[in-house]
Structure 1
Amino acid sequence: MMRLFILFCFFSLSPLLAEPLSMSLNDDVLGLIVFKSDVQDPMGKLASWNEDDDSACRWAGVKCNPTSNQVVELNLDGFSLSGRLGRGLLQLKSLSKLSLAQNNLTGSINANFARLDNLMILDLSENGLSGSIPDEFFQQCGSLKSLSFASNKLSGEIPKSLGLCPSLASLNLSSNQLSGPLPEGISSISALRVLDLSRNGLEDKIPEGIESMKNLRVLSLKGNQMSGAVPGGIGSCLLLRSIDLSENSFSGEIPESMGEVRALETLDLSANAFSGKLPSSIGNLVSLKVLNLSGNSLSGPLPGLLSNCKSLQVADFSRNSFTGGLPDWIFKGKFQELQALDLSSNFFSGQIPTNIGDLSGMQFLNLSNNSLVGSVPESVGLFKEIVALDLSDNKLNGSIPSEVGGAGSLKELRLQNNELAGNIPVSMDKCSSLTTLLLSHNYLTGPIPSSMSRLGNLQIVDLSYNNLSGALPKQLANLAHLLTFNISHNQLQGQLPLGGFFNTIAPASVDGNPSLCGASVNRSCPGVLPKPIVLNPNSTGDTVSGSLSPLLGHKKIILSISALIAIGAAAMIVIGIIAITVLNLRVQYISASRSAAAHALSGDEYFSESPGTDANSGKLVMFSSVDPDFSTGAHALLNKDCELGRGGFGAVYRTILQDDHPVAIKKLTVSSLVKSQDDFEREVKKLGKVRHPNIVSIEGYYWTPSLQLLISEFVSGGSLYKHLHEPSAGDSKSSISWNDRFNIILGTAKGLAHLHQMNIIHYNIKSSNVLIDSSSGEPKVADFGLARLLPMLDRYVLSSKIQSALGYMAPEFACRTVKITEKCDVYGFGVLVLEIVAGKRPVEYMEDDVVVLCETVRGALEDGRVEECVDGGLKCSYPPEEAIPVMKLGLICTSQVPSNRPDMAEVVKILELIRCPSEGMDELV
C-alpha cells in the first residue's frame, strides 16, 4: 500500500517531487503499475503485475533487455483491456516496441508517446481511440519505424507534419474517420514501404511526387472519397507489390505506366470511374496474381497481351462495358493458377468456348449478364474444384449437360434467365455439396428427378417459370436444410411432399401450378373414399346396392329421401336447443364469476387460502410485500377505458394499487383449458420466481374455477409493435434509432436466454409481447410461459391459440413428429430481429400479394442487396457492419430445421461480438 501511495505521488505531484522519487524506485515498475491502475482488466491478464516486485521482466506481456533488465517490449495484444492510455508508459525510457492492439482502450492519442527516444514500433490498432492525431506527434517521431492506429475512431485531417518522420517504414491509419486531403509532405518519406489509409473519408487527389517513394511496397487508399486521375509517376515505384485504389471516385484512363511496375502482384482499381480501354501494358505484369477492375466504365475488348499474366489467380472484369467475344486466350489452359474469373455484367457475345473445362483449378466462374449464346459446354464437368458456376442472364440454349455431375465440389449453380430446354439431368445428384440451384425462367421440361432428394445440403432451389411436369418426389421432404424451394409457374401436379420444409412452404413458391394440391395451395387432394351406401327407396327385397354396417343386424332398412330429410331436420332442432341451453348456463356462470371477482378485488372480503373454492369466492396471492387491497382499481376489470390490449390468452388492464403502485392485470379467457388449481398455482409461482431486467415480473395471481387473473409489473412505454408500426402523429415512419433497436434486440435475447436457462419456453414471441420501459428504454419480455398453465393440448390448438400473429410460428408446430423445444422461441426471435431492423411486419398483405418478411430478406441477401431491407426511417444513420450481420443472424435463427438454429445464449454472445468485434468475432456469414 505504501508503494501505491508513492506511485500516486510520483505521477500526481510536481516534477520537483517526482525527480528524487524516480532515483530510488524502478521507473519501469512504477510506470507499468500506474498504467495498470488506469485500465480495467476483466480477464485478469495483468494479475502477475505486482507493485512489490523490484523488476517487471517476468510480468505477462513484458520483455526486457537481458543486460540492463530494462523493459524494451510491451505486447498486450488481445488482453481485453479497457480504460484510457495514461502517463505511466512514458516512464519506459528504453521501450522500443509498444503493442496494445485488439483491446477496448479509449481516449485520445498522447503526443508524448513519440518522445520515447527508443520507440520504433507503436501499434494501437483495434481500440476505441478518438479525436484527432496531434500535429506534435509527428514532429518528434525521429526513431519511429512502424506506426498503426488502424480500426479506431480517429477523425480530422492527417497532420501535415507527417513528412517529418524520415525513418517511418510502415504507416497504417486504416478504418478510422479521417478526412481532408493527403498531406503533400507524405511523398518525402523516402523510407516508407507500407502506406495503408483505407476505409476513411479522405478526399481530393493523389498528391504529385509519388514517384519519389522508391521503397513503397504496399499502397492502399481503398474506401475513401478520393478523385481525379492517377498520376503517371506511380509507374516509377518499381518495388510496389500491391496497389489498392478501390471504392473511390478516381476517373480518367488507367495510366500506361502502370505496366512498368513489374513486381506488382495485386492491382485493385474496382468501384471507381475509370474509362477508356484497358492499357495493353498491363500484360507486362507477369507477377500479377490478383487483378480487379470491376465496377468501372472500361470498354473495348480485353487486350490479348493479358495472356502473359500466367500467374493470375483472381481476375475480375465485371460491371464494365467490355465488348467482343470471350477472350479465347483465357481458356487455352495457360492459366493453371486461375481460381476465380468474373466477366459478368458486360457486353460479351458469342459462345462459351468448348474447352472451358481446361481451367482445372477454377473455383469461381461468373459469366452472367452478357449476351452469350449456344449451349453449356460439356467440359464444365471437368471443373473438379469449382464451387460456384454462374451462367445466368444470357441467351444460352440447348440442354443442361449431364456431365455437370462431374463437378463434385459445386455448391452454387446459377443458370436462370436463359433459353435452356430439356430435362433436369439425373446426374446432378453427384454434386453432393450443392447448396444453391437456380434454374428459373427457362424452358425446362419433364419431371423433377427424385435423385434431387439425395442433395442433402440443398438450401435454395428455384425452378420457377419453366414447363416442368409430373408429381413432386415425396423424398424431397427429407431435405433438412431447405430455406426456399420455388416451383411456381410450371405444370406440376399431385400432392406436395409431406413433412419438413414443405409443411410451411410459402404459397408464392407454388403458385401457377393448377394441378398441385395441398394446404399451401389451398386445394384439397382427392382421397380414396369407401364405396358409398346407396339405399333404393323402390326396393322391396333384401338386396340393396352397397353394404350396411353389421351393427344394423339383419333388419331391413328402407328409407325414403323425404324421411332422411325429416330426420336430419329434427336432429338439427335438438342440437340447437341443447346449444342454446348450454350458452344460457355459460352466460349465467360467467356473470356470477365476474361479480365474484369484482367483489373480491374491492376488498370487501378476505381471500381464501384453502385449495377449495367456489364461484363466489377466490384466492389472491401476491409475491411481494405490496398491499393486496385492490379497492382503488377494482373497476378496471370491467372498464374498457383501462384496457391495454388483447391477445391469444386474454385481455390486459391497467390498475393502481392503494400505494399508487401501477400493475397490469391479465384476465385469462382460457378458463375451460386451465389446469387444476394446484397445477395452476404451482406453475404461476414458478413463473413468479423469474427476475431479470429484460423480463416483465409476475407479482401475483387470483384464482376461482371460472376466472383466473395474473398480476404483473406495469411497463409504461408500451409495446415494441406500437413503436415500430404505429408512429406518433406527424411521423410516417418509426423514429427508433439504430442504437435503440440494437439494444432492444440484445435485451430481448438476454431475457429469452434467461427463460431458457430456467427451462421455460415462451411460445409466443412477437413485437406486441416486447414492452419498452419509457425511463430506461430497456425491452421487457412479457406473456412468457403461459402455455404451461394449460393442459397438454394438440399443437394445432396451441398454435391457433398462442401464435395469433402470423409469421412468428416455427414450422415444427405443423409437424406432429417434431418435438417443441426452446428452438421455437429462437425462430420467433429471428423473425422479431428482421422486423426490428426492417421496420416491417412479419407478414404484410398487399392489394394482390402477400409479402413474408423472412422470404424478402433472404431473397435480398441472395441477390446481394440486403442493405435495401434496412428500415428507410434510419436513412444512413446506421452502421452496416452491425445491421447486416444482425439480419444474417435473424435468418439463421429462422432456419427451417430446429437443430440449425443457435441457442439463445449463443445468440447473446454473437450480438455482443457484433457490437464489439474487437473481442474476437469473425465475420458472420
Structure 2
Amino acid sequence: MGVSPSLLYLFLFLLFYAFVPLVSSLNEEGFALLSFKSSIREDPEGCLSNWNSSDPNPCSWNGITCREGVVISLSIPKKRLAGFLPSALGSLPSLRHMNLRNNRLFGRLPPGLFAAGGLQSLVLYGNFLSGPLPQEIGNLSYLQTLDLSRNAFDGSIPSSLVQCMRLKSLILSHNNFTSSLPDGFGSSFLALEKLDLSYNGFSGSIPGDIGNLSSLQGTVDLSHNLFSGAIPASLGNLPEKVYIDLTYNNLSGPIPQNGALENRGPTAFIGNPGLCGPPLKNPCPTGVSSSGPSVPTNYMPPVSQVNSNGNGSSGSGKGLSRTVVAAIVVSDVVGIGIIAMIFYLCYRRATSSKGKEESGTSKKGTKRRKECMCFRKEESEALSENIEQYDLVPLDRHVSFDLDELLKASAFVLGKSGMGIVYKVVLEDGVILAVRRLGEGGSQRFKEFQMEVEAIGKVRHPNIVTLRAYYWSADEKLLIYDYIPNGNLTAAIHGRAGTMAFTPLSWDVRLKIMKGIAKGLTFLHEFSPKKYVHGDLKPNNVLLGLNMEPYISDFGLGRLANIAGGSPLLQSDRIAAEKTPNQQSDVTSSPFLTRGSCYHAPEALKTLKPSQKWDVYSYGVILLEMISGRSPLVLLETLEMDLVRWVQFCIEEKKPLLDVLDPSLAREIDREDEIIALLKIALACVQANPEKRPSMRHVVDALDRFISSKPR
C-alpha cells in the first residue's frame, strides 16, 4: 500500500517542528561543529560527549576555545578520533587554530575547509589523510603554521601555497608529495623559521631562491626525496647555525663551500652518489670545483705559520704571504676533512644498527641491536666486553642532546695533542660542547673503558671540567665535556699566538686562579671516587670560565687514551706532543728540554707510575709562571734553563723581587707580602725530593692562611 505525497510532506513538516525546540537555541557555529561530530565514527575516549545541541553556544565544549563568545580554536589532539573532516568547519568565521594531530582521521581535505580565511595554524600531523592538497589553501593569507606530516597526501604542492606569505612553520614530511616545488618558493616565505619536506617524492631542482629564507632556524630537512641537479650555492646564504640535511636524494656535482654549507660533515650529503668534493671522499673530476673552502673566523693558524711580527708576513707587515695563506687554507681543509671523517664514521656505525635485529647463534636466542638514540645508561651497563657500543651514553641526568644532534652540529678544531683532537661543537639549540676524539683501536676493551669513563664522570667539583657523555665504537671513541669559554691559562698568562691585543691578568685574578687549581687538585687527590692523580698538569690543561674561574681538564685522560688507542701512551710520547697551536715560546727549545717537560717532576722521567707529588710539582711550576709571567723555558744570555732553575738562580743571586715579578704586576708591589708568600709555597712544591713537597690539602691551607681572600 503506497503513501500519498501529501501525507509524506505532512509527516516531514510535523517531524521538523517536533525538533525545533531542541535545536533552536544553538548558534550557527555550534551547528558547524556538530557536523564535525556527526562525521566522527569512533570516539573511544568520549571527548565529544558534551557537544550538545541544547547548549546556546559551543564555548563550553571539550576542545573548543572562544573569545568574546565566538569560536577561535578547535584542539582535540591524540584522542583516537576516527572519521573525516567536513567542509562545514570552514564556515567558522573567527577560527584561528585547528589542532587535530595524532588521531585517525581519513579521506581528503575538503576545499571548503579553507574558507576559514582567518586560520593561523592548521596542525593535522599523524592521521590517515590522503589525496592532493587543494588549491584553495592559498586563501589562508594569515596562515603561520602548517603541519601535515605523517599522513598520505600525494600530488604536487599547489602553486597557491606561495600566497601564504606569513608562514613560519611548514612541515610536510612523511607523505607522498611529488613533483617540484612551486615557483617563488624561496621568495615568498621570508618569515619561514622551520622547513621540513623530508620523506616525500619531491623532484626537480632545489629552488635557487631558497637562500632568501633568512629567518630559518634549526634543521632545514630536504632529505629522502628525489631532488636532482646541483646544490644551489644560495643555500650557503642561510644563517650559519642552520643545519641543511640533503641526504638521500639524486643531487650531483660539487658541494658548495660557503656560509651555512661550510664546515659540514658528510652526514648532510650521504645518499647522493653524484655529489663530489669535500667533505666527501670522492673528488670532483678535473675542472669541476666548488667555490672553495674558506677559513672559519675563529680559526687560529699554528705558531709555526706566524712570524715574529704576528701577521705571518715575511715583509713589512702589509699582509699574509701567499705561502702562509696557502698553508692556512690547506690546514683548514685538513681540519674540516678530519671532522667530516669522524662524524661520518660515527654516523655509519650508529645508523647501521638502527632498527635491525641480529640473529644470535648462541643459546641466548635472538637479540635486537639497540637504536642509536636509546640513551639508556642502564642498558649500556649490561654490554659485554665484546659488544660494540653504538649509543651516546650520558653520564649526567641533565644531558639533553643525542647522537644525531651531535653529528649534525657545527664543529671546529680547538687543538691537538698526543691524546687526540679536541673540537668545539655547537648544537642546534646553541649549546656548546667540547668533544675529544681518542682513537680507533682497543675494540675489545669496552668494559674496561666503560668502568674508567663512568668513574671519571662521577667527579663533580666547581674547579674541574665535567665529563657529560661518551661514545664508543670500534672506529671511534669520543668524550663529551662542558665547553669552557675563556681559553686556557697559557693564553691568559702570555697572550694568544698571532693576536696583538692582550690584557695581563691582575693579581687578584691570579690569586683566584691559583686557589681554584689547588682546590680542584685537592678534591682529585682526596675526595674523588678513585683518588685520582692528574699526572700531566700544565697551564694548557687549566681552562678559564666566564668569570675567570679555573677548571682542571683532562684528568684520567692518559688511561682512557691507553684503552682507546690499544697501546700505552708513554711519558716521552706526551712530552713530544706537548705543543699546540695556541702555545707560544720565548725561546727555541732544545731537543732535550721542551715546554711540556718543564711541568713534570724530576722523578717522572724515571718511572711511568704517577704519584700525587707529581701534581704538586706541576702546580708549583704553574705558580712560578703566574708570578713571573715567564714561559717555563727561560733564556739566560746564551743558556737555556727551566723556570724552576731560573727562579732558584735569581734567589741565589739575591735579585730584587721586581726582577722575578711579572712586569705587568709592578704596580701591585704593595701586595709584596702576598707575592712572597706565594713564591714560598711555589718553591716548596718544586722541591726535587718528592717527600719534601707538601700535599695539596696543605697548600690550600697555606693559601688561606697567608693570602687575604678579599680582593683589593
Is the structural similarity TM-score above 0.5? no
Whose Rg is larger?
A: 1
Q: Which structure carries more relative contact order (alpha carbon 8 Å, separation 6+)? A: 2
TM-score by length of 2: 0.41
Question: What's the TM-score once normalised by structure 1's chain length?
Answer: 0.32
